[in-house]
Amino acid sequence: MPELYAAAREKIKKHLEEIYGKRIGKEFLTRLFQLIEENIKNISCPLKKWDQHDIVLITYGDSIKEKNEKPLVTLKKFLSTHLENEIEIAHILPFFPYSSDEGFSVINFYEVNPELGEWRDIKEINKSFDLMFDLVINHISKESEWFQNFLKRRNPGKNYFIETDTESDLSSVTRPRSTPVLTAYNTTEGKKYVWTTFSEDQIDLNFKNPWVLFEIFRILFFYIQKGARIIRLDAIAYLWKKPGTSSIHLEETHAIVKLIRQLTEVVDPNVIILTETNVPHLENLSYFGKNYNEAEMIYQFPLPPLLLYTLHTGKSDHIVNGQNRYLKQQARARF
């Protein structure tokens, strides 16, 4: 058993018990540690995180198309022909079967959208480039097997979603979109109101059920085995819900990010955790963690438009002032 895993085992157990208490039983821990052990990579090369030479290209799987060819095959040809000496990492936005939101309403986390290609096409790209995958962790498509099972009150899925009484106090919930917090669905046991942060097609997962987190860990390890060097945690800020609160940036959410970081360091210490939180700068910085033990990278959404403005106008005043302001905020920040 690798030393890092042996040292981390008790820490992982304690951390899970702090979040879930008695809901973390012997069976859960046994299965989780078995899952970890099955996925630990034997890393013989030096740790590879990132430096100034690591340039990331972000693209949809079908951003480039060629007639009578799967888009992922075309993307591989384009990257190899034009960018092999220019970039190190390709971030292919969700390339899984989906039902809406440009891929961010995932139907099946384990499959490649057949309209784009196959896993072997992802593997071919990975031969020349490192990869970033999206772990769309907050929600899943209403067309997914899990949610269809929920409607039929079957497992797996029956207890994977957040059923909430319409009388619950949701007045303080932070809304990223104008759609309702709750959406009504007819199940075999009658009408149920479920939490839908982003749309009626994107059903929020219930992380108060530790077995949901277990399934997410299984998906995380699968992506690592498929070559992901960077894991982008999509919409992570909204992960844990609690009526009567803003349901954003809750302590449990930060605790789960910390757990994901711990597990990836055990399974493959070269993997980088990146959080996607489109929120004010100080809130964004909080995802580094109090002891820098959460995300290793965070999105900085204001930077791209500032950079484009600078390139377009030839004036650097806004980007310089913005970065100076961020540095001052970071110096004052107490995560």
* Enzyme catalytic residues: 234
Question: Which amino acid would we find at residue 244?
Answer: G
Q: What is the DSSP track for 19-51?
A: HHGGGS-HHHHHHHHHHHHHH-----SPP----
Q: Taking the mean position of all CA atoms in its chain, how far away is CA 32?
A: 19
Residue spans of alpha helices (H) in the chain: 3-20, 26-39, 71-78, 119-126, 145-152, 210-225, 251-267, 281-285, 303-313, 317-332
Q: What are phi and psi of 247, to 5 degrees?
A: 55, 35
**Phi (first) and psi of residue 224, to 5 degrees:** -65, -45
CB 138 within 8 A of CB 239: yes
For residue 11, the one-letter residue type is K
Of the candidates 235, 137, 243, 253, the residue with the CA atom closest to the CA atom of residue 181 = 243
φ, ψ for residue 281, nearest 5 deg: -60, -45
- Cβ neighbours around 26 below 10 Å, total: 7
Of 249, 108, 109, 230, give the one whose Cα is nearest residue 176. Answer: 249
Q: How far is CA 286 from CA 16, 242, 251, 258, 277, in A?
A: 21, 19, 11, 12, 10
Contact 174, 248 (CB under 8 A): yes
- HEC sequence for 223-267: HHHCCEEEEEECCHHHCCCCCCCCCCCCHHHHHHHHHHHHHHHHH
Query: Which of 246, 218, 256 has its CA nearest to residue 20?
Result: 256
